[in-house]
Structure 1
Amino acid sequence: MTTALRYTLFALFLALSWVLSGCSSTKTVPEGDALFAGYSVKVNDEEDSSKRGPALETELSNTVRPKPNASILGLRPKLWIHNAFYTKKEKGLKHWIQTKLGEPPVLLSEVDTASINEVMRARLHNRGYFYNTVQSDTTIKKKKATIQWNATVHEPYRLRNIAYTLSDSLPIHTEIKKMQPNSLLKEGEPYDLDKMIAERARIDQALKNKGYFYFAPTMLIFSADTTVGSKGVDVVLRLKNDAPSPALRSYKIDDIFINANFVLNDSLSVSDTLRFEGYNYIPNENYVRAKHIVPGLFVAKDSVYSRRNHLLTVSRLSGLSAYKFVNLQYERDTLKEDRLDAFIYMTPEMKKSLRAEAQMVTKSNNLAGPGVTVSFRNRNAFKGSEMLTLNLTGRFENQVGGQRVVSTAESPEENPVGLSSYELGVQTSLSFPRLVAPFNLPNLRSAYVPHTRITLGYNFLNRVQFFQMNSFNASYGYTWRPKQTITHELTPINLQYVRLGKQTDEFMKILETNPFLRSSFEEQFIIGSIYQHTFSTLSLENKTHQFFNATSLDVSGNLLGAVQSLLGSEKRDDAADPPVPARTIFGQPYSQYTRLENDFRYYLNFSKTSQLATRLIAGVGYPYGNSLTMPYVKQFSIGGPNSIRAFRARSIGPGTYNVPDSLATSFFDQVGDIKLEANVEYRFPIFGFFRGAVFLDAGNIWLINETYNANGSLDKPKFKASNLFQELAVGTGFGLRVDIDFFVIRFDLGIPVRVPYGPEGDRFALNDFRFGFKPKPGEHGMVLNIAIGYPF
């Protein structure tokens, strides 16, 4: 079947689906009624100088209830499912599909246009259009109804004078008057009820931080006078006359009780109270010691009650791994009428847990196999809410298809066993909910718990036909968030040691012919530091524009090199006669490099389920001094389910490099010193928990220096800025995602558009594209990526 015929059949299928959907959409609509197929809202603002028509149309559109059945390109898939599986039975498979995956037709009889007209008029009134008109016009054709709403507005009423009429009899009046210069209401702006409500909330929030615990926004009243003429409004703010006296008084904190082992229906017994730094700690220190709780408290005896300090305390204590729930309550002191007693209730989390996860991994390079991870957690290891984690992992992979190729053969040799690999690892980490250092550090006034992490791990990798590798790692670092959008991660001590074990003759022959690969696999220490700064607004809800930017700096060997230089040690010099070898520590050479990477993302949210997501990654690693190449584990790679999805993982580059057939399935993934990647993805709803996506990915990796084979011929080219765009790999595709809020399964089908390793002028992959996952030699096929979570 030719490509043109496939496209023709696909187009006919879409057209047929559209026709069938249109014919069946009114199948279950009762006689005398119609399907509510759509609506529009038009605001005539020709006489309105504020020209808020588009914003008003959006606001009024949101008042229409019910909404028509969801549609995509004119199709209503959920309605089609309902009609196709319609049954009067209340059980069975058809009933389940009809009710769970389908959606009944939204009928015209369910739309109360008169009530909606009134709601729209009220919304316009709240925006300062005290005299407005709203009309609706219904059109019915072939049992489908559409409604057109038309609203006409004139010049809005505007604020002329704004006054806070408050006496000076109580301190609260003075406090409110001080807030008027920062009022949300401005003279000359259109009358807006929502702004008045927001102004009351602003004043309430400010008073809450000044001790007015019992105050509420409803105790403030706005009065509007529209009789002043010239479409002006005079607004007056005052306190309610019947506001209760406790709400008009500022309070201070008296006694603070901390129940650090609270369970429901506990009775508070002061006989078990432990006094610590002015706090009443209940019942004892058998679970978490008081000295580790107090740094998270921002309410103190004799301090003025503050809602800000209240939220800060709850958030900080909730971040402790030893606790599941934290609640902070207040009661008026029985002896002091201007004092509040604070009660902090902390419910412990399950202290220890054991979890096992089984995985089955299938890769596009014909490698597949099972994996298992066993995790043990202790959320309160040393009575300070320390998190102790121990992970044991095991994975096995075997080549289930393709060929095993030896490096010296002119033609591939079939091997029924194929390549095999297994990996065993143990990783332990200890996280302290505080900054642990040899010197005193100030307590961060932040809602987020700072952490100190210590990690130690070992990994054994056995590429059965090639080599065995032992990897050790250890680190000591800090994580802290001064505010919601910024995170700092500093790892002053980062140690890694990689040591090759048993090596086969095949592997050694490959290293002999590839000096660059041999250098990457050299036994060496990585001794350095890592810093990462992250700015993210993804946690801020209901934002149209969201940003994420993570910048990381990874350096190794500089401090050690400087110390050895001061001690008179010679620098590495391969050009000297005789060559000066690399400096060592504990008899092994160490890496010296600087690695910088930046990950920038921008999200444009059209709705809660519709989004345009973009990403740009740029990174560079530069070896120097004691190293000729970047360590293999620190080099960049590209391709795969979270990268350029039209190419398998680590299969692109560096530059125009085309991996020889003799290495195509030998585990030696393609890596480089420079990385550039860009992604654009449009995500949209289909129906229910099904989401769709179309995407475009581009990028590549490059080397800073050219590499040569043992015979002196060029193996891999180096980066040239002038060739940047000509050497980009480009892929597109579409995806289906099953998004169940807390869990996302992703299926992305990648289609290569441009390959960097083809001859110049012949890199457009669609010229040789073939539907399917196993293209013939010289052709390009599709890549199916199955993953958990979104790619970015």
Structure 2
Amino acid sequence: MKNSDKNILSTYLLPKIIILVFTAILVLPSCNTTKFLKDDELLLNRLDTKIISADKKTNVSELKSELQQFYKQVPNTNFLFVPREWYWYRNQEPGDTTWLKKWRRNSLGEEPSILKENLKEQTRAGMQNYLRNKKGFYNAQVESEVKANGKLASVTYKVNPGTQYTINSIRYLSKDSSLVNIINDISKESLLKKGDPIDAFNFDLEAQRITSELQNLGYADFNLNYIDIKGDSTELLNGIDIFFEILPYQDNQAHKKFKVGELKIYTDYHQFQKEENVSSETLFGSEYFKESKDFIVRPSIINQKIFLLNNAIFRAEDYRKTIRKLFSLDSYRFVKINQQVNPLSDTLIDYTIFLTPQNNKWIFDLGTDIFFSNISRVDNNLIGFAVGTGLTNRNALGGSERYKLSVETGVEFKAGTPIQTNTLSLGINNSLDIPKVTKPLNLVLLMNKIGVINDKSMRVLNEEGKTTISLGYNFLDILDNYKISSFNTSYGYDFRPTKKHRLVFNQIGFNLTEYTVRPAFQIILDSNPLQQRRFETVFFSGLIFKDLTYYFQSDNGPYRSNYAFISSLELSGLEVYLANKSYNALSGSNNVWRVTDDIDFEKFAKFSVDGRWNRRIFKESSLAARFKAAVAVPYGEDNGVVSFIKQLLVGGPNSIRAWRP
């Protein structure tokens, strides 16, 4: 260790450490909460669940995690190393009615977790019933054990699950003769297989799958109440024969198959609307109503979000998709769909769609941020302040397009005397989201026409996609080192084919980045020519491909493992590079195309992957892990250099050391 570092430690840190330790010695003994307990009371201090004598096939960690949801009592937590129940006790006396003491009791404090026999028994019974009735451990036993250490209690739930029963066979039956063949076809895609463990959750999923399949075949009235699940374990060892039985409609009638009838769409509905004030037009096979002179949102846009087609077989998926896509239109605050059987035909369902516009077309937001950082040296503590504002139009072009102008500026100071400004930043950005996939310059449509993307996938992309356009300017000035000015624009698409998957494709993008290096930093660059080239003004370009990012987020429930995966590919200058090489090959020249004499086309490829895992272990506690890797490769005439702003981040709010799972 250098002498200067020792001096810093002794001068600044050592006194603070001594004060902190001394304060802890004085404060912590006074935070003893057991002195507030009555003679017959114990404070729950530890809680654990132990799985004993489990079958080898049993996933012990997952089962333990599932059982924790039945805890009726958990130990109190701490705030700044002080038990939260201490704050509750200290501010619970009859005279403690001031707002400050109420705030400390309700915000910092927690009601003491005094061990209660009835809650302990409810927890034990809940675990045992869950294992027997939901997980197929029909002989499971759960016992609770309490160990007292003074006034502190440790509770352990000992779980002996025994053998988990499995599926011996599965049969699908129907008391509605009209559905026999359909049920036979549906059963071929069953989620359940012979030998699977008995699990009520999986049975519910299978019942929901059958219901969804029938509802998508026109049986709009079919629901889970028409599925009866039975089991028979006669003469079987740890196995059960499972029966899914489809019950008939009311009075033993056959289930009806429905089609879509008439559609009426009220485009500017409000609760006080009167029919005499509304006019209508028949468009796209539906009747559109409006009270205003012109349609607030073009009917062609609304029609693209409606998947209920006149005289088509009813599909629950189309009904839910219609609601979801209409809600995605920013111009509308509420969406309501009424349905009723056509009075002239009992197999037709008529729909009336009510769209309630937003009260305000424009919205304004303002936010501030204060942050603090320490960059290794005591004399480099930084305090920052940022202000951001945004102005949004939720129906910019009459088609529910969302336009946003955002401005953000910030300043960062070196803490000390005198205060010195370290960094200035400014960002002015415009974005326009169009709620459809536009056709001009659309590479995705071209890929569909040449067969790279099939028609089914293209239909999904059109239904679940939107177009995004951006234009902006960003400025960063690190006063002692350099300035970066960046002008950028992009044109692309945002696809969300399912709840778990998302694809963002920026097809066209341009970015001009200009560096201004100050003398103090130039001295560093002069000794490193490679680093010097990273601070040269460059032009990033993408004519048919700028970047592609894929997102995946699992949804396995709160007490199971969930994970996310993000992968991205970014290219710059590829089209220019290929055109340049082709021209040189045909002309026999060896020219290198440049934007100007001083500005090059930046040519590089960058690929990154980001994996995240988390699992909830208590109501407010989770385990999380993250892995991130990336590589950036220059090509062409860039001589192994990637521009500074495209290099990989190793710190800050986006690093692997700081993220929200």
Q: Deviations over 1:189-236 (max 9, x none)?
A: 555444444432232222222222222212222334455465654444
The structural deviation recorded for 1:288 is: 0.8
Q: 8 Å contact 2:267–2:356 — kept in the other structure? A: yes
- Cα distance change of structure 1 residues 204 and 71 upon mapping to structure 2, 3 Å threshold: farther
- Cα distance change of structure 1 residues 193 and 495 upon mapping to structure 2, 3 Å threshold: closer
The structural deviation recorded for 1:98 is: 1.8
1:97 aligns with 2:113: no
The structural deviation recorded for 1:339 is: 1.1
Query: Equivalent residues in 2 for 1:550-569 (5 A)?
Result: 550-556=567-573, 557-559=576-578, 561-562=580-581, 565=584, 568=587
1:250 aligned partner: 257
Identify which of 174, 186, 191 aligns with 1:179. 186
Distance in 2 (alpha carbons) for counterparts of 1:25 and 1:546: 39
1:373 aligns with 2:388: yes
1:601 aligns with 2:611: yes
- Cα distance change of structure 1 residues 566 and 264 upon mapping to structure 2, 3 Å threshold: farther
Q: 8 Å contact 1:519–1:628 — kept in the other structure? A: no
Q: What SS class does the counterpart of residue 355 from structure 2 fall into? A: strand
2:432 aligned partner: 430
Q: What SS class does the counterpart of residue 320 from structure 2 fall into? A: helix
1:288 aligns with 2:297: yes
Q: Deviations over 1:330-362 (max 9, x none)?
A: 222221101111233333333212333445566
For residue 300 of structure 1, what is the amino acid of its counterpart?
A: L
Q: What SS class does the counterpart of residue 640 from structure 1 fall into? A: coil
Identify which of 328, 349, 374 aligns with 1:340. 349
- Cα distance change of structure 1 residues 13 and 206 upon mapping to structure 2, 3 Å threshold: farther
Q: Deviations over 1:2-52 (max 9, x none)?
A: 69999899789878887666xx23233333332234454555547x68657
Query: Equivalent residues in 2 for 1:40-79 (5 A)?
Result: 40-42=48-50, 45=53, 58-70=65-77, 77-79=83-85
Q: 8 Å contact 1:592–1:624 — kept in the other structure? A: no
Distance in 1 (alpha carbons) for counterparts of 2:409 and 2:438: 33
Distance in 2 (alpha carbons) for counterparts of 1:463 and 1:117: 61
The structural deviation recorded for 1:277 is: 1.6
1:303 aligns with 2:305: no
For residue 546 of structure 1, what is the amino acid of its counterpart?
A: Y
Query: Equivalent residues in 2 for 1:190-201 (5 A)?
Result: 191-201=198-208
Query: Equivalent residues in 2 for 1:747-786 (5 A)?
Result: none
Q: 8 Å contact 1:521–1:632 — kept in the other structure? A: yes
Higher helix residue share? 2
TM-score (norm 2): 0.78
For residue 553 of structure 1, what is the amino acid of its counterpart?
A: E
Identify which of 26, 45, 59 aligns with 2:34. 26
Q: 8 Å contact 1:215–1:247 — kept in the other structure? A: no
- Cα distance change of structure 1 residues 201 and 269 upon mapping to structure 2, 3 Å threshold: farther
Distance in 2 (alpha carbons) for counterparts of 1:236 and 1:606: 34
1:142 aligns with 2:150: yes
Distance in 2 (alpha carbons) for counterparts of 1:423 and 1:149: 56
Q: CA RMSD in A?
A: 4.3
Q: 8 Å contact 1:166–1:177 — kept in the other structure? A: no
1:617 aligns with 2:660: no
Q: What SS class does the counterpart of residue 95 from structure 1 fall into? A: helix
Q: Which piece of structure 1 moves more, 428-437 or 105-114?
A: 105-114
1:781 aligned partner: none
For residue 601 of structure 2, what is the amino acid of its counterpart?
A: S
For residue 354 of structure 2, what is the amino acid of its counterpart?
A: Y
Distance in 1 (alpha carbons) for counterparts of 2:284 and 2:408: 45
1:481 aligned partner: 496
For residue 108 of structure 1, what is the amino acid of its counterpart?
A: L
Q: 8 Å contact 1:270–1:282 — kept in the other structure? A: no
The structural deviation recorded for 1:791 is: 6.2
Distance in 1 (alpha carbons) for counterparts of 2:484 and 2:82: 56
Distance in 1 (alpha carbons) for counterparts of 2:413 and 2:77: 46
Q: 8 Å contact 2:634–2:640 — kept in the other structure? A: no
- Cα distance change of structure 1 residues 613 and 447 upon mapping to structure 2, 3 Å threshold: farther
- Cα distance change of structure 1 residues 398 and 98 upon mapping to structure 2, 3 Å threshold: closer
1:216 aligned partner: 223
Query: Equivalent residues in 2 for 1:380-395 (5 A)?
Result: 380-395=395-410
- Cα distance change of structure 1 residues 176 and 312 upon mapping to structure 2, 3 Å threshold: same
For residue 225 of structure 2, what is the amino acid of its counterpart?
A: T
1:709 aligned partner: none
The structural deviation recorded for 1:287 is: 1.1
1:497 aligns with 2:512: yes
The structural deviation recorded for 1:604 is: 3.4
Identify which of 535, 541, 549 aligns with 2:551. 535
Q: Which piece of structure 1 moves more, 224-233 or 80-89?
A: 224-233
Which 5+ residue runs of structure 1 have no aligned equivalent?
Answer: 403-415, 573-581, 644-678, 682-789
Distance in 1 (alpha carbons) for counterparts of 2:633 and 2:146: 65
Q: Deviations over 1:658-708 (max 9, x none)?
A: xxxxxxxxxxxxxxxxxxxxx468xxxxxxxxxxxxxxxxxxxxxxxxxxx
Distance in 1 (alpha carbons) for counterparts of 2:165 and 2:423: 76
Distance in 2 (alpha carbons) for counterparts of 1:100 and 1:589: 58
Distance in 2 (alpha carbons) for counterparts of 1:136 and 1:360: 49
Q: 8 Å contact 1:259–1:282 — kept in the other structure? A: yes
1:452 aligned partner: 467
Q: What SS class does the counterpart of residue 460 from structure 2 fall into? A: coil
Q: Deviations over 1:470-522 (max 9, x none)?
A: 64333322232333444333333322334578x98888888877755664454
Q: 8 Å contact 1:310–1:328 — kept in the other structure? A: no
Distance in 2 (alpha carbons) for counterparts of 1:107 and 1:6: 37
- Cα distance change of structure 1 residues 203 and 619 upon mapping to structure 2, 3 Å threshold: same
Distance in 1 (alpha carbons) for counterparts of 2:142 and 2:469: 66
1:685 aligned partner: none
Distance in 1 (alpha carbons) for counterparts of 2:157 and 2:95: 39
Distance in 2 (alpha carbons) for counterparts of 1:399 and 1:38: 45
- Cα distance change of structure 1 residues 100 and 522 upon mapping to structure 2, 3 Å threshold: closer
Q: 8 Å contact 1:592–1:625 — kept in the other structure? A: no
- Cα distance change of structure 1 residues 7 and 599 upon mapping to structure 2, 3 Å threshold: farther
The structural deviation recorded for 1:598 is: 0.5
The structural deviation recorded for 1:142 is: 2.3
For residue 176 of structure 1, what is the amino acid of its counterpart?
A: I
- Cα distance change of structure 1 residues 305 and 680 upon mapping to structure 2, 3 Å threshold: same
Distance in 2 (alpha carbons) for counterparts of 1:523 and 1:186: 62
Q: Deviations over 1:280-326 (max 9, x none)?
A: 22227531101122222222112222222222222223223323333
- Cα distance change of structure 1 residues 497 and 568 upon mapping to structure 2, 3 Å threshold: farther
- Cα distance change of structure 1 residues 617 and 197 upon mapping to structure 2, 3 Å threshold: closer
The structural deviation recorded for 1:249 is: 1.5
Q: 8 Å contact 1:36–1:106 — kept in the other structure? A: yes
Q: Deviations over 1:106-152 (max 9, x none)?
A: 23335345555544443343244545555444444423344454555
Query: How many residues get paired?
Result: 621
The structural deviation recorded for 1:601 is: 2.2
The structural deviation recorded for 1:639 is: 3.3
Q: What SS class does the counterpart of residue 618 from structure 1 fall into? A: strand
TM-score (norm 1): 0.67
Distance in 1 (alpha carbons) for counterparts of 2:156 and 2:372: 53
Distance in 2 (alpha carbons) for counterparts of 1:214 and 1:356: 48
Q: Deviations over 1:727-762 (max 9, x none)?
A: xxxxxxxxxxxxxxxxxxxxxxxxxxxxxxxxxxxx
Q: Deviations over 1:137-185 (max 9, x none)?
A: 444442334445455565565555544342453x234323433344445
Distance in 2 (alpha carbons) for counterparts of 1:447 and 1:106: 54
For residue 340 of structure 1, what is the amino acid of its counterpart?
A: I
Question: Identity rate of aligned residues, in percent?
Answer: 23
Q: What SS class does the counterpart of residue 621 from structure 2 fall into? A: coil
